[in-house]
Amino acid sequence: MSAHAAAAAADAAVVDAIHAVLTGPAERAARWLAAAARRGHTEAQAIFGQWLLDGRGVERRPAEALFWFKTAALSGHAMAANMLGRCYEHGWGAPACDKTATHWYARAAAAGLDWGQYNYATSLQLGRGIPADRARAFTLFRAAAAQGHAKSINVLGGFYEDGWEVEADTAMALRCYLRAAEGGDFRGQFNAARLLALASRADDALAWMRAVPRTATPAFLAKAHDFLAGHPDARLRVLAAALDTEPSCC
């Protein structure tokens, strides 16, 4: 066996061991992850960073989480790079910095990670930490969508609905929203319901709108309810009541 093949086999064995450990008690798994991270295993570093960020099996320590994300990211771990971007975007473990966040999102996107493509595309679309480039954002959203990334598929629906970078196409927008909805994205569910209602497909619209509160944030539900309740089109106003359900997430 070549040195490269041996190293790959060893890495695969470590990954298998990590996932086996994760099924056990959280505190014991966290200790194992910490030891593996210190030994230089990038997958353990990325997972331990997430556990430190979430406070799973250990005390929540965002600054230490950021350290491990960066350590793994510098070794080429795409999800760690994406999470490092999130830390800098939200100010977890370090002062918020859009420019630094976007740098790490770009690295994750370059590695082909769907979440990295989505987050980098969002930065490009909004001009957050980087000059706005909607055409490049569209390309990246499409790349993530091709991997089945539901949030990106929903955003593509918005491009087709509004005619950004493509000719406006409501039918294509609805297809995108429905794919996102089926993938569990609550914004996709809301947008699919909205266009279905405007197409006078009331029963289908109501079914998707009722799905929204299962995963939507309280802030989104409040904004969506106000949008629907105050809409001049009665086909949309009638859907507002479907959102009067306690969300299942915080």
Domain boundaries, the chain: 1-96, 148-250
Query: What pLDDT sits at residue 172?
Result: 99
- What's the pLDDT score for residue 1? 47
Do 148-250 and 1-96 fall under one CATH topology?
yes
Per-residue pLDDT of the chain (250 residues; tens, 9 = 90+): 454 454 455 455 566 667 766 777 899 999 999 999 999 999 999 999 999 999 999 999 999 999 999 999 999 999 999 999 999 999 999 999 999 999 999 999 999 999 999 999 999 999 999 999 999 999 999 999 999 999 999 999 999 999 999 999 999 999 999 999 999 999 999 999 999 999 999 999 999 999 999 999 999 999 999 999 999 999 999 999 999 865 444 4
Q: What pTM value is reported for the model?
A: 0.89
Check: CB of residue 132 under 8 Å from CB of residue 151: no
Class of domain 148-250: mainly alpha
The answer to whether the CB of 176 falls within 8 A of the CB of 166 is no
**Is it true that domain 1-96 has CATH number 1.25.40.10?**
yes
- The predicted pLDDT at position 191 comes to 99
Provide CB contacts within 8 A for 11, sequence distance 6+.
41, 43
Distance CA(88)–CA(85), nearest Å, equals 5
Using CA atoms, how far residue 166 sits from 132, 175, 208, in Å, is 17, 15, 26
